[in-house]
Structure 1
């Protein structure tokens, strides 16, 4: 079974309030990462119609500060699937509504989620049908990103042995 990529499309919008900001009056990076993980999980659940767990976050590229009083908008969509895994792209934009500036891309991230059954075992997910050429490109280039993640995970497993003792050794 396959599903259109657009079926997983999820949007989350929030005002940036004082408790969300650091001493520079910009959105905490950790708060943004929480939003990213949340909206990506919803997109993964929409696609798989199952429980999901975050398997990896490739990176979060912060491109533009999100300031106190801005509106932050996150868009998420499943962009590639494996057997039980789903790659989700999260695009983060900011709006400064009072002065009428246009929306700016503030950050983006790729995450991987795994679909789970009620016992916590991984289960198969539907494949993807791209809605247009841009989305087709995301799906087609997804395997390259997945291979990069596999290599990184292998390095992390090796580092696990290194870090098994205290850093000071």
Structure 2
């Protein structure tokens, strides 16, 4: 199976926030943004695996800046790590107030893990990730640590539940 680069699956998706995305005071619901982030990460994972994928885990969601009705958000998604069947995608969301001459601000960040599945719903091996830049290498190493930490937690939970 051939490897693929980060660039081959990178995604940028933008949306304008409407009243149906917000509470009565005009603040966009966090769940609305999380859904858009999940969609972005899902496109990245599907581009990489070219098969059915499902969300397995969401990590480290950080809300950094409020988002209001009429703001434009842009979700930037890219692979940070690939295991045998799982893929971690970093998603950064920026927010822009189009009525002001200000640069977009980072509003949210998070990591989404997807698993590739075959037609029977079993995990399916995906292409390896070809890391080309120093930044990609640093992201890979940090993601690999999260992956190994999660695996260790799972092992501990299985041991605890098996007692």
Common fold: TM-score over 0.5: yes
5+ residue gaps, structure 2, are none
Measured in 2, the distance between the counterparts of 1:14 and 1:23 equals 20
| Structure 2 residue aligned with 1:96 | 97
Does the alignment pair 1:28 with 2:22? Answer: no
Q: CA deviation at 1:95?
A: 0.8
Instruction: Describe the SS at the equivalent of 1:32.
Output: helix
**Residue correspondence of structure 1 range 61-140 to structure 2 within 5 A:** 61-140=62-141
User: Is the Cα–Cα contact under 8 Å of residues 6 and 131 in structure 1 kept in the other structure?
Assistant: no
Q: CA deviation at 1:154?
A: 4.9
Measured in 1, the distance between the counterparts of 2:33 and 2:105 equals 15
Instruction: Describe the SS at the equivalent of 2:23.
Output: coil
CA 1:85–1:73 in 2, change beyond 3 Å: closer, same or farther?
same
Instruction: Describe the SS at the equivalent of 2:66.
Output: coil
Measured in 2, the distance between the counterparts of 1:79 and 1:2 equals 14
Instruction: Describe the SS at the equivalent of 2:93.
Output: strand
Measured in 1, the distance between the counterparts of 2:36 and 2:161 equals 28
**Residue correspondence of structure 1 range 30-69 to structure 2 within 5 A:** 30-69=31-70
TM-score where L is the length of structure 1: 0.88
5+ residue gaps, structure 1, are 162-169
Which whole-Å deviations, capped at 9, do the CAs of 1:44-95 have from their partners, x for residues lacking one?
0000111101110013110000111110100111110101000010011011
Please report the RMSD computed on the Cα atoms of aligned residues, expressed in angstroms.
Answer: 1.9
| Structure 2 residue aligned with 1:150 | 151
When the two structures are aligned, how many residues end up with a matched partner? 161
Instruction: Describe the SS at the equivalent of 1:88.
Output: strand
TM-score where L is the length of structure 2: 0.91
| Structure 2 residue aligned with 1:11 | 12
